[in-house]
Chains A and B, each alone.
Chain A
Amino acid sequence: MKKNLLTFLLMVMLAPACSDNTQVPVIRLALQTEPTTLDPALALDYSSGMITSMIHSNLLRFDEDGKIVPSLAKDWSITEDGLLYTFRLSRNRFSNGRLLNSRDIIFSFRRLLDPETASPRWWVLGALRGAEEYHRGGSFDKNSLYAPDDSTVVIRLEYPAAHFLSLLSMPSAGIVCEEEVISAGGDYGRRPCGSGPWKLSEWNEGEGLLLVQNTSSSDCNPEIEGISIRIIPESMTRIAEFETGNLDILEVPRAELDIWRSAGVTLLEKEELSVVYIGLNNDKYPFSDIRVRKALNMAIDVDMIIAKVLFGAGQRSCGPVPPGLSQGAKGEDLYRYDPEKARELLADAGLADGFTMEIWQRENPESGRILESVQGYLSKVGISVRIITREWGALKEAVDKGTPDAFYLDWFADYPDPENFLTPLFHSSNRGGGGNRSGYSSPGVDSLLEAAALSGDDRLRKEIYSEAERMIYEDAPWIFLWFPVRYEVVSYRLDGYRIPLIFNSRQFIDTRFR
């Protein structure tokens, strides 16, 4: 056993050194940024969230199509009023071999809410009864979360939340192993222990991680011995690595799409659950004037930008909710490219001579390219744009304070539900740091969103969201841009791999080697 492990490790170590070695049953990936932590309570960014959810499992999980399927919980029931959730656990083990029981769920959830953990994602369980008070430093309501026996967990909510099961499937609600958290001290994020299909074997800072199969997990993929994840910041370098056969999966940068399309390889394509937009500061003149906001939407030829700058890797958005999640406003197109109309609207608003505005962005060559073309289009209707680049911290601080006129941002879904796009981005209670950074505020939309959250009927809920989305689209709080499409190429030796709808369901459970 020990010897086998040693040979395996040796093989893994040698693997990247020889490009022709395709025998090692390890999937080789590359990420642009290194995960910051693998602690579910603290993981925030794409890399951390993705790897955290490979290592930890939740009560439920999303499958590749974003559907909620059982994971640790084999079944569950919800009371009529939507307040009491009862989960029955299946038999599972942590990667250290210990049997997972209901107390681990309670420990993990309480830890997420504990103010001392200072989790940025505590709101995932914010609907629990008394959770907000506990997070503010009050006492914990033991009746909101308890375990009648070793394999049952009961959760009581403050108010019904139709998307609660989705929240439970997010990486932040991953189940951690209590004794490992305690023994790791402050280092749990680098020594995680979960019951997911993979466990962390090595983490060389700045270089990459090696995950190996977690044989004690019920989701274990016996055909794949491990996943090596390298950190490669430059996209050109990632391409070179794929071309030399050192990677199994490559996200194709848009600038290279034409090359790969004509190369005869299979390009996997997926509309991601995310939206790209230019938020307008709705509180600030002239963007407080709806005519100006509409004019801005009409002054930009979004289709042309998608075709030429994104090389087709996007779908123009008529509303904030990606097509996978809504069936509402998609049909109507209120803001077709029409510079004449835009100029008229500006003249109506008393701005016939144009004006100067700032668009803020975070430092990134691609968004720079996009904003340069936006700048070009707006100059044609007399609006001169100054592009202000700040790194993420400074940009967020300024945007949340409402300083910039406009800002170029994107929003990634944490769970596949229109609620995740509409409530944080447009409910007036979330203005600023809550997600509604354009400061949009409409009592009508607010009440629709509140009604939808309370509704137990899924169809009715979707209809209410569609209506809210239509109203938002008409008010044009943003310059609506597009829903990005993700392209990946996969080495010939992988089989059964699909791009998941949501990034945190990339668990490689069904992937095989040919």
Chain B
Amino acid sequence: MDGWRRFIRDFSRNRMAAGGLVFLILIVLAAAFAGLIFPDGADEIDLDNALRSPSAVHPFGTDPFGRDLLARVIYGARISLGVGFLARTISLLLGLFFGTVAGYFGGRTDSIIMRLADITFAFPALLLLIAVMAVVSPGMISLFTVLGAIGWASMARLVRSRVISVKEYEYVEAARAAGAGHLKLAGKYILPQCVSPVIVVYTLGLGMIVMAEASLSFLGLGVQPPLPSWGRMISNGIVFMRSAPWLTLFPGLVLTATICSFNLVGDGIRDALDPGSKRIAARTGKEGMIRGRLQQGL
């Protein structure tokens, strides 16, 4: 696996990306072992200790209920990262399926799927989200389902364009001539060619989902209390902006740092995988698509 080793080498040479990865690993570990670090959980209310400013006991201070803000931020990572990974995976699966089908078969199938993608793009994400939250019970599940469902379109477009170009490669033609079926052709010869751009878009999209989750929670449409979510922590902290600024400052910093890291790692993977891919991604503007719809569109 020479390619793999080269990838590791290239990636770790990129100090920013490696730094981002380290930060993410730390956050993931903290979230995973939150129960060990803070065995009391993050929901226990202790009104006597409300709104303490940052100190050695409470490095991030306490919230209006006397809960340790650091513990809440770490438990909150579970929500934010969980929603991010699940939503992106849903987008990935949907996008891979529809993108491959559209690109592989072309013709009418292709144009129907691409029209659906257009409708998804043109449809305000927020509306869809509120609708789903009203039908299903609001909370984490509806959150990542909808965020995932919205992301399928850009993923499908990317996969489709990749499939269309790979389809014409000689070895694919050769395999087809040798009588390989649709499934085998797609699975064995075409899809592997889509892996690198998909990984890059997947990672970059993670940051955007974390941001979207925070934005929705900020608007009051995210996860339900007492689950700590970074966006909700910031939104609940706004009225305390002057009396207890740490309530908005720390969750905001961690949130920004996390999204930053996802972007760094995504860029790093892209550069290490294939220096040429940067150009494709930039030109087709897929990043812009995701960000445009999820962040500003909200």
Nearest Cβ in chain B — how far from A135, in angstroms?
Answer: 31
Known contacts: A259-B243, A308-B64, A388-B137. The answer to whether A365 contacts B47 by CB under 8 A is no
Pick from B47, B130, B134, B225: contact of A371, CB under 8 Å: B225
- Partner among B45, B138, B239 whose Cβ is within 8 Å of the Cβ of A376: B45
Whether B38 sits at the interface, judged by CB under 8 Å, is: no
Bound CA span A369–B221, Å? 15
Q: Is A394 an interface residue (CB 8 A)?
A: yes
A334 at interface (Cβ–Cβ under 8 A)? no
Interface positions of B from 26 to 48, Cβ below 8 Å from A: 43-45, 47
In residues 45-87 of chain B, which contact A (Cβ within 8 Å)?
A: 45, 47, 50, 64-65
Chain A residues engaging chain B, CB cutoff 8 angstroms: 234-236, 239, 253-256, 258-259, 304-305, 307-309, 363-366, 368-369, 371-373, 375-377, 386-391, 394
Extra contacts besides A388-B138, A389-B225 (11): CB < 8 Å: A236-B239, A253-B239, A255-B64, A255-B239, A307-B47, A308-B65, A309-B47, A309-B65, A369-B64, A377-B45, A391-B134
* Nearest CB in chain A to that of B219: its residue: A363
A304-B47, A373-B47, A388-B137 in contact; A364/B220 too (CB < 8 A)?
A: yes
Q: Which residues of A contact B65 (CB under 8 A)?
A: 308-309, 369, 372-373, 376
Interchain CB contact under 8 A, A365 and B134: no
* Inter-subunit contact A308/B241 (CB<8 Å): no
Nearest B residue to A239 via CB reads B242
* B224 pairs with A256, CB closer than 8 A: no
Provided the pairs A235-B239, A236-B239 are in contact, do residues A375 and B47 lie with their beta carbons within 8 angstroms? no
B61: shortest Cβ distance to chain A, in Å?
15
Q: Mark B102-135, 1 if CB is under 8 A from A, else 0.
A: 0000000000000000000000000000100010
For B43, list chain A residues within 8 Å (CB).
Answer: 376
Q: Is the CB of A259 within 8 A of B242?
A: yes
Q: Which residues from 169 to 221 on chain B have a C-beta closer than 8 Å to any C-beta of chain A?
A: 220-221
Q: Shortest beta-carbon distance, B120 to chain A, in Å?
A: 24
Which residues from A are CB-within-8-Å of B137?
A: 388
Pick 30 A–B contacts, CB within 8 A, sort by A.
A236-B238, A236-B239, A253-B239, A255-B64, A255-B243, A259-B243, A304-B47, A305-B47, A308-B47, A308-B64, A308-B65, A309-B47, A309-B64, A364-B220, A365-B238, A365-B239, A368-B225, A368-B236, A369-B64, A371-B225, A372-B45, A372-B225, A372-B226, A373-B45, A375-B226, A376-B45, A388-B138, A390-B134, A391-B130, A391-B134
Bound CA span A372–B236, Å: 12
- Asked if B277 lies at the interface with its beta carbon under 8 angstroms from chain A, I say no
B23 interface hit (Cβ, 8 Å): no
Q: Is the CB of A387 within 8 A of B134?
A: no
- Asked if B235 is an interface residue, CB under 8 A from chain A, the answer is yes
Q: Which residues of B contact A375 (CB under 8 A)?
A: 45, 225-226
Residues of A within 8 A of B242 (CB): 239, 256, 259
A339 to chain B, nearest CB (A): 13
- CB neighbours (8 Å) of B236 from chain A are 365, 368-369
Q: Is B50's CB under 8 angstroms from A387's CB?
A: no
Of the candidates B45, B137, B241, the one having the most CB atoms from chain A within 10 angstroms of its own CB is B45
Bound complex: CA of A390 vs CA of B65, how far in Å? 23
Which B residues are in CB contact (< 8 Å) with A235? 238-239
B147 to chain A minimum Cβ distance, whole angstroms, is 18
CA separation between A322 and B105, bound complex, in Å? 71
A256 engages B226 (CB within 8 Å): no
Q: How far is the CB of A405 from chain B (nearest CB, A)?
A: 14
Q: Give the A-B contact count at a CB cut-off of 8 A.
A: 77
Closest residue of chain A to B241, judged by CB? A236
- Is there an interface contact between B224 and A387, defined as CB atoms closer than 8 Å? yes
Give the residues in chain B near A308, CB-CB below 8 Å: 47, 50, 64-65
Complex Cα–Cα for A305 and B47 (A): 8
B97 contacts the other chain (CB 8 A): no
Q: How far is the CA of A386 from the CA of B240 in the complex (A)?
A: 26
Residue of B47, B130, B134, B137 contacting most chain A CB atoms (<10 Å): B47
> Chain B nearest CB: distance from A238 CB in Å?
11
Q: Is the CB of A394 within 8 A of B45?
A: no
Max chain B Cβ within 10 angstroms of own Cβ: one of A254, A255, A376, A394: A255
Measured between beta carbons, the chain A residues less than 8 angstroms from B50 are 308
In-complex Cβ contact of B243 among A256, A371, A376, A377 (8 A)? A256
Q: For residue A368, which residues in chain B have a CB less than 8 angstroms away from its CB?
A: 225, 232, 236
Q: What is the bound-complex CA distance between A391 and B50, given in angstroms?
A: 29
Task: Tell me, in angstroms, the Cα distance from A82 to B44 when the chains sit together.
Answer: 57
Nearest-neighbor residue (CB-CB) of B134 within chain A: A394
- State whether A365 and B64 are in contact (beta carbons under 8 Å apart), knowing that A308-B50, A388-B137, A390-B138 are contacts in the complex: no
CA distance A239 to B232 in the complex (A): 21
- Among residues of A, the one whose C-beta sits closest to the C-beta of B137 is A388
Instruction: Please state if B220 and A363 are interface contacts (CB–CB under 8 Å).
Output: yes
Residue of B with least CB distance to A255: B239
Nearest to A253 among chain B residues (CB) is B239
CA distance A394 to B239 in the complex (A): 26
Complex Cα distance A323/B96, Å?
64
Q: What is the minimal beta-carbon distance from B45 to any residue of chain A, in angstroms? A: 3
Closest CB in chain A relative to B122 CB, distance in Å: 23
C-alpha spacing A432/B285, complex, angstroms: 53
Contacts of A258 in B (CB 8 A): 243
The closest CB in chain B to the CB of A387 belongs to: B225
Given the complex, which residues of B lie within 8 Å of A372, measured CB to CB? 45, 65, 225-226
Give the residue name and chain of the A residue nearest to B47 (CB): A308
CA distance A107 to B186 in the complex (A): 75
A445 shortest CB reach to chain B, Å: 34
Q: For residue A235, give the distance in angstroms from its CB to the closest CB of chain B.
A: 6
In the bound complex, CA of A253 to CA of B239 (Å): 7
State the CA gap A256–B245 with chains docked (Å).
12
If A371-B225, A389-B138 touch, whether A365 touches B220 (CB-CB below 8 Å) is: yes
Most interface-central of A256, A305, A375, A389 (chain B CB within 10 A): A389
Residues of chain A within 8 A of B44, CB atoms compared:
376
CB-nearest residue of chain A relative to B247? A255
Residue in B44, B137, B239, B243 with the greatest tally of chain A CB atoms within 10 Å: B239
Which residues of chain A are near B64, meaning CB under 8 Å? 255, 308-309, 369
Task: Please report the C-alpha to C-alpha distance between residue A48 and residue B130 in the assembled complex, in whole angstroms.
Answer: 26
CB distance from B46 to the nearest CB of A (A): 9
CB distance from B71 to the nearest CB of A (A): 15
Q: Which residue of B lies closest to A309 (CB)?
A: B64
B235-273 near A? 1/0 per residue, CB < 8 Å = 110111111000000000000000000000000000000
Which residue of A is nearest B227, CB measured?
A387
A386: chain B residues within 8 A (beta carbon): 224
* Bound complex: CA A390 to CA B220 (Å): 10
Enumerate chain B residues within 8 angstroms of A236, measured Cβ to Cβ. 238-239, 241
How far is A307 from B48 in the complex, measured between Cα atoms in Å? 10
- Among residues of B, the one whose C-beta sits closest to the C-beta of A368 is B225
